């Protein structure tokens, strides 16, 4: 397996003859970290939800103020969209990501179809995350800090997995090469947009802290 340099001077994924994708060390580490952090957040949310079910008067550890309040979010229908707590989806999903990260760090070549499937799954997760962002901002009116951790790792994870899945096209597609070279700039703008929405939506509260 080989690793080639991308247009911005960083390692880029390449394909070996067996169809596996050679993952750059930085990308492999990011998948591992994203899986660990996301799984930890999902497990913590699940435990907090169980505590709340046992004791309705329980105050979750992430209920900090009127805006940053997990308790306000957990009791809403949006928190159990499919009839069970949303964090259970995160436990399963991030467990897969964590195992993938371990394999990638260990230099175990995974086939292109696997990365493509993971990228599609992460895309679905990203869409779900943005639906939750909208619900939190404009319907529930509160933010769940542990949920925000999941938001923070899902967006870059989509960029990384998409880069692995599109590795074979990077040698022939100018559009893919351009998107790949600007990927972290896109992530930065993406985060900035979400932060701006949060600041504007809850500015009446934030302004009282100044």
Give all domains of the chain, ordered by start, each with its CATH number.
15-209 (1.20.1440.130)
pLDDT band at 147 (very low <50, low <70, confident <90, very high): very high
Tokens 């590795």 label which residue?
167
Structure tokens at 24: 């750059």
Q: Say what percent of the chain tops pLDDT 70.
A: 87
Expressed in percent and rounded to 5, the helix, strand and coil fractions of the chain are 70, 5, 25
- pLDDT, one tens digit per residue, over 109-122 is 888 899 999 999 99
pTM here is 0.86
Query: Given the structure tokens 């080639």, which residue do they identify?
Result: 4
Q: 119-123, 160-164, 205-209: which has the highest mean pLDDT?
A: 119-123
- In terms of Cα–Cα distance, which of 169, 182, 155, 36 is closest to 104? 36
**Please, what sign has the CA dihedral across residues 74, 86, 52, 35?**
negative
Exposed/middle/buried for residue 144 (C-beta within 10 Å: 0-12, 13-18, 19+): buried
């Amino acid at each position: 397996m080989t690793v080639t340099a991308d247009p911005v001077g960083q390692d880029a994924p390449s394909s070996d003859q067996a169809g596996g994708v050679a993952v750059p060390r930085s990308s492999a580490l990011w998948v591992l970290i994203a899986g660990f952090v996301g799984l930890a957040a999902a497990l913590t949310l699940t435990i907090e939800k169980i505590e709340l079910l046992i004791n309705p008067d329980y105050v979750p550890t992430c209920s900090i103020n009127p805006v940053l309040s997990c308790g306000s979010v957990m009791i809403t229908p949006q928190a159990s969209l499919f009839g069970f707590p949303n964090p259970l989806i995160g436990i399963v999903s991030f467990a897969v990501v964590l195992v993938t990260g371990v394999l990638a760090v260990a230099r175990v070549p995974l086939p292109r179809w696997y990365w493509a499937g993971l990228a599609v799954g992460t895309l679905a997760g990203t869409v779900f995350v943005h639906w939750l962002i909208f619900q939190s901002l404009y319907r529930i009116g509160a933010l769940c800090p542990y949920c925000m951790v999941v938001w923070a790792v899902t967006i870059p994870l989509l960029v990384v997995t998409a880069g692995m899945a599109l590795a074979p096209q990077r040698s022939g597609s100018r559009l893919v090469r351009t998107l790949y070279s600007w990927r972290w700039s896109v992530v930065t703008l993406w985060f900035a947009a979400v932060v701006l929405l949060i600041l504007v939506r809850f500015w009446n509260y934030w302004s009282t802290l100044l």
